[in-house]
């Protein structure tokens, strides 16, 4: 299939508006001969003379009159598509965005983020969904708009990422627990019964690796899939939960938190999105608000 020269639409729009080859040529900054050639091509592709001489003037044919409004609208639509995005009017935005994140993020950062939207963009709705795995296909497929997590080797290489904050693991116990007071050592920490967090139900992880370097083994009595569940168990039992500090701040109220007695590497929590949303004004504004509410208060 031969692709038509869409530049001819602009030429036709100006010719029909001016009713003169000379005036149309001046408006498009072309020579009269070049405009005449363009008119000849238009006549060829449409199969209609479009403009015919009546005395010293050119008048449109019935086909040209029928095309005039349609062609004008097509040119306006094309110009709108190719025009740079105009300034975002937050009060006019009516959109829903889906953010996928691990447990604890909504409780810790959700209230401030929702408040910002209510104040600045009341027509923008934010949907939080749980993150059961690290599969990046939902971002690629447009099922979610944003995601938070730790960027690792299996993260989709095409995704855009930006660090939100640094985090570290801490221990959490209920009030009155044996570990709630006093100096902490690897042996004392490991001597209590623990709840481990693992999406894959793995019995051992980086906490156990860190303890092993001191020759210590902890007793893991149960494994759960998320931080909120681990903290809930710590709150209602004598179990020790080990969770990210900043990520779970909103979940740990009324509990005792303590620094781990062995070195465990800190990590970065990042915001992830697909490149197709990079230049979207509303998406860009929302990304900035997420970064603001997650900014480290000590930074």
Answer whether residue 22 is part of any domain. yes
- Smallest Cα–Cα separation from 99: which of 122, 130, 120, 134? 130
- Please check whether residue 2 lies inside any domain of the structure: no
- CATH number of the structural domain spanning residue 75: 1.10.10.10
For the chain, what is the mean pLDDT? 89
Residue range(s) defining the domain that contains residue 140? 90-167+268-294
Q: Is residue 277 part of a domain?
A: yes
Could you tell me if residue 185 is inside a domain? yes
User: Residue 191 has what pLDDT?
Assistant: 95
157 in the same domain as 290: yes
Contacts of 225 (CB under 8 A, 6+ apart): 132, 197, 198, 199, 201
> Does residue 145 share a domain with residue 280?
yes
Total length of the chain: 299
Which domain-ending residue is among 82, 99, 124?
82
Same domain, 242 and 290: no
Rounded distance between C-alpha atoms, residue 131 and residue 163, angstroms: 18
The reply to whether 21 and 52 lie within a common domain is yes
Q: Percent of the chain, pLDDT > 90?
A: 52
In a domain, 98, yes or no: yes
* 1 within some domain: no
What digits encode the pLDDT tens for the residues 98-122? 999 988 899 999 999 999 999 999 9
Spatial separation of the C-alpha atoms in residues 119 and 121, rounded to whole Å? 6
56, 82, 108 — which closes off a domain? Answer: 82
More confident site: 76 or 189: 189
Q: Are 240 and 234 in contact (CB under 8 A)?
A: yes
Strands (E), 146-266: 146-149, 160-167, 169-173, 193-197, 219-224, 240-244, 256-259
Helix (H) or strand (E) segment spanning residue 130: strand 124-130
Q: What is the pLDDT of residue 45?
A: 87
- Identify whether 212 is part of a domain: yes
Based on the domain organization, do 189 and 231 belong to the same domain?
A: yes
H or E element, residue 158? none
Residue partners of 234: CB distance under 8 A and separation at least 6: 172, 173, 174, 195, 240, 241, 255
Q: Do residue 102 and residue 230 come from a single domain?
A: no
pLDDT score for 133 = 78
One domain, residues 222 and 240: yes
Residue 254 binned pLDDT confidence (cut-offs 50, 70, 90): very high
Distances (CA, A) of 112 to 71, 93, 116, 218, 226: 49, 19, 6, 37, 22
pLDDT of residue 172: 98
* Co-location of 137 and 199 in the same domain: no
For 185-214, the pLDDT digits (tens) are 999 999 999 999 988 878 789 999 999 999
Number of folded domains that form the chain? 3
Q: Positive or negative, the Cα torsion across 269, 213, 204, 207? A: negative
Residue 160 shares a structural domain with residue 125? yes
Reading the block at residue 252, the tokens are 């740990």
């Amino acid at each position: 299939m031969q692709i038509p020269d869409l530049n001819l639409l602009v030429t036709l729009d100006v010719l029909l508006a001016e009713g003169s080859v000379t005036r149309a040529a001046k408006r498009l900054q072309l020579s009269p001969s070049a405009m005449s050639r363009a008119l000849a091509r238009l006549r060829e592709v449409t199969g209609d003379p479009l403009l015919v001489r009546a005395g010293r003037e050119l008048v449109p044919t019935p086909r040209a009159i029928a095309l005039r409004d349609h062609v004008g609208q097509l040119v306006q639509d094309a110009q709108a598509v190719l025009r740079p995005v105009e300034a975002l009017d937050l009060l006019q935005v009516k959109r829903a965005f889906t953010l996928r994140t691990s447990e604890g993020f909504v409780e810790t950062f959700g209230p401030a983020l929702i408040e910002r939207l209510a104040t600045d963009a009341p027509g923008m709705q934010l949907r939080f969904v749980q993150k059961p795995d690290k599969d990046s296909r939902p971002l690629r497929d447009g099922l979610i708009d944003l995601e938070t997590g730790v960027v690792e080797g299996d993260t989709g290489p095409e995704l855009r990422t930006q660090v939100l904050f640094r985090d570290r693991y801490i221990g959490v116990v209920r009030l009155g627990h044996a570990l709630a007071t006093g100096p902490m050592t690897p042996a004392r920490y490991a001597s209590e019964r623990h709840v481990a967090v693992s999406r894959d139900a793995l019995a051992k992880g980086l906490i156990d690796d860190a303890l092993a370097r001191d020759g210590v083994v902890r007793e893991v009595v149960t494994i759960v899939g998320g931080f909120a569940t681990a903290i809930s168990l710590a709150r209602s039992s004598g179990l020790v939960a080990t969770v990210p500090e900043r990520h779970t701040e909103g979940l740990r109220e009324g509990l005792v938190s303590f620094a781990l007695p062995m070195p465990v590497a800190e990590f970065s929590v990042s915001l992830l999105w697909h490149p197709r949303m990079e230049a979207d004004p509303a998406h860009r504004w929302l990304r900035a608000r997420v970064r603001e509410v997650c900014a480290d208060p000590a930074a």
